[in-house]
Structure 1
Amino acid sequence: MRNNQGNFENERALVKKVKKKKKKRLRRLIIIELLIILLLIPVVYLYFQLGRIPRQEINLDNIEINNIDLSELDGYRNIAVFGVDSRANDLQKNTRSDSIMIVSINKKTKDVKVCSLYRDTYVYIEGHGYTKLNHAYAYGGPELAINTINKNFDLNITDFVTVNFSAVTNVIDLLGGITLDIQDDELKHVNNYTRDVAKINGTKYTYLDKAGKQTVDGTQATAYCRVRYTAGGDFTRAERQRTVMSQIFKKAKKSNPFTLAKVANKMIPQIYTSLSNSEILGLGKDIFFYDLGEQAGFPFDKTAKKIGGVSYVLADTLSSNVTKLHELLFNQTGYEPSKTVQGYSSEIAHK
């Protein structure tokens, strides 16, 4: 009897132990599920919000890729990024692209390289002849702008993102500001533009008290992007824009999904793109793995000259600069430009 009683008590203790373990496991599963749901809420919310983005599906029949082998570029996702300063938020065309960048993502390593294309670069635009690169967007929107970039620089871009500069202000504020090293010769101009940016966006503003490394808000950072009245003119202006872009990228990598969802929600009405929801989310999910690498401005070797009384940026020569561009973005050494680029290069040299 005593043995039976002892066995019975042992069995009861074992059952209790098993039940306790099951409860713990169940509690752990519930906590994990709740965490997953909490993480998914901003993702699901973001997916539906992305549907509000105005889009343009690029007609590939209107995008010319020079008759050369660009198979080495298949390992990269190349996106044209246009920044416009439109008070009417007109992102589709009829506005010159104030900022033009190529963002090249190595699909395998997740390395990201950024190259600014100087807006006054002298290029050939289909149907309009030789003129400034930033005119292409005004003449024919992103399709003509992409077509112009591909034909003049031997690229295979088929996607774009256009952002209004006011979106830059909003994003930086939501991220809690970014760090910039303001130089002495920039301070006065940053403060002057800060007032102008605030007036355009209808926001309050504060002036910077001194130069040096400091945290700036969205209005101040956007003002910094617009400064061009220092040594280097528009070339250093493009460099400032890349600096702000890289600082936004660094801050975003450290942010939580809820903050990123707020950022996306604020940007959505101020973006115009060819990318689908799934493509945006596909790029976004890797944000924590991207490594922002080399940055530069194109043309690398250049001269500012007037043609017909208008100031342009001329490549010395276009062919040699395109070779350097392919080396920077795609690690192609000794790239030989297409006959189309060589033809443009010769005509520009004559002019």
Structure 2
Amino acid sequence: MRAEKNTKKKKKWLRVTGIVFLLLVIGIGVYAYSVYNSLQSAVETMHHPVDRKSDKRTEEVSLQNKQPFSILLLGVDQRKGDKGRSDTMIVLSVNPKLNSVKMLSIPRDTRTEIVGKGTEDKINHAYAFGNEEMAMNTVENFLDIPIDYFVKVNMEGFKDIVDAVGGITVDNDLDFSQGGYHFPKGQVNLDGKKALAFTRMRHEDPRGDFGRQLRQREIIQGVLREGASLSSITKYQSIFAALGNNVRTNLTFDQMMDIQKNYRSAAGNVEQMAIKGSGTKINGIYYYIVPDQEKQRIQTELKTQLEMK
């Protein structure tokens, strides 16, 4: 029970980590040759190619031609000797023509077909069964859209990134305490540990998950502001080190540069999507069941965002 409780707390934190990574790539320009080299070195450390082809695309997406694309964000609690499970799964669909990023969080207990395993199970088990490839294939089948890239983030990564940019400032709209810290209304300065506590609180908020999502967005925007500021020039080495130590992705350095060049304006317009369903037990195991009508609604919205016919 304790392990499960800790995992639930951690997934609130992991929800935003991969998003910050992507938006930093989109939003931060290359300041100098030394920054360029440091970024290239960090990306080489992060790069992890996958051996798969999408059944939903006949040709690979072209970032140079500014085609819409999607990324699966995996928040993984990695321990020594255990690769962990993807307790957070988020799909980002990016459309540069609309200057828009749609962000869909998939509940980890969602019951669906695990592609390559031949069974129905919780969607987050796909990573445990078959790493990034099986997770991408399973989410692709569930949403009926191509999953072009993945970004996997270790749970400690976001805390390190917040500290690497020198801390952040958020606009807090609810007075509360969490994790030994008090967060008054108004402008609040956060380091990595405080940011973790700030995103964990849910039960004291009458808005529930919606309120938590607002705080997560404040964290993301705070990191973007600090990461893109002139003061962060002197911090770039620690920022890239934090990313390199905690992030793995099949995006190459050149692809990231194409994203930074061609999709930058989309970073300012992130829209959160929600999957509606209900919890139930099957053979004593809890699952989150998404009705077919709701699944169709989500699929249609994502296909429109990706300009799929």
- Output the TM-score relative to the length of structure 1: 0.65
**Equivalents in 2 of 1:78, 1:232: separation in Å?**
29
Aligned to 1:271: 247
**Equivalents in 2 of 1:78, 1:110: separation in Å?**
14
Identity %: 24
1:252 aligns with 2:252: no
**Equivalents in 1 of 2:207, 2:282: separation in Å?**
20
What's the CA shift for 1:227? 4.4
Aligned to 2:143: 153
Q: CA 1:166–1:212 in structure 2 vs 1: closer, same or farther (change >3 Å)?
A: same
1:176 aligns with 2:152: no
2:90 and 2:104 in contact (8 A); partners too? yes
- Determine which structure has more spread, i.e. the larger CA radius of gyration: 1
**Equivalents in 2 of 1:252, 1:64: separation in Å?**
36
**Equivalents in 2 of 1:88, 1:281: separation in Å?**
33
Instruction: Map 1:102-141 to 2 at 5 A.
Output: 102-126=91-115, 127-141=117-131
Q: Secondary structure at the match of 1:41?
A: helix
Aligned to 1:143: 133
> Structure 1: any 5+ residue segments left out of the alignment?
1-36, 192-206, 337-351
Q: Which has the higher helix share?
A: 1
Instruction: Map 1:1-351 to 2 at 5 A.
Output: 39-53=32-46, 55-61=47-53, 63-65=54-56, 75-88=67-80, 94-126=83-115, 127-178=117-168, 179=170, 181=172, 183-184=174-175, 187-188=176-177, 190-191=178-179, 207-213=180-186, 214-227=188-201, 229=203, 241=216, 243-255=218-230, 256-285=232-261, 289-299=265-275, 301-315=276-290, 317-327=291-301, 330-331=304-305
Which structure carries more relative contact order (alpha carbon 8 Å, separation 6+)? 2
Q: CA 1:137–1:239 in structure 2 vs 1: closer, same or farther (change >3 Å)?
A: farther
- Output the TM-score relative to the length of structure 2: 0.73
> Structure 2: any 5+ residue segments left out of the alignment?
1-29
Q: C-alpha deviations, 1:56-90, integer Å up to 9, x for none?
A: 322224x44399xx9xxx93121111111224396
Q: C-alpha deviations, 1:78-113, integer Å up to 9, x for none?
A: 1111111224396xxx31112111122213354222
Give the AA of the match of 1:245: I
Give the AA of the match of 2:181: L
Give the AA of the match of 1:209: H
What's the CA shift for 1:257? 4.3
Aligned to 1:29: none
What's the CA shift for 1:180? 5.2
Q: Secondary structure at the match of 1:142?
A: helix
**Equivalents in 2 of 1:177, 1:281: separation in Å?**
26
Q: CA 1:138–1:59 in structure 2 vs 1: closer, same or farther (change >3 Å)?
A: same
Q: CA 1:266–1:82 in structure 2 vs 1: closer, same or farther (change >3 Å)?
A: same
**Equivalents in 2 of 1:267, 1:325: separation in Å?**
31
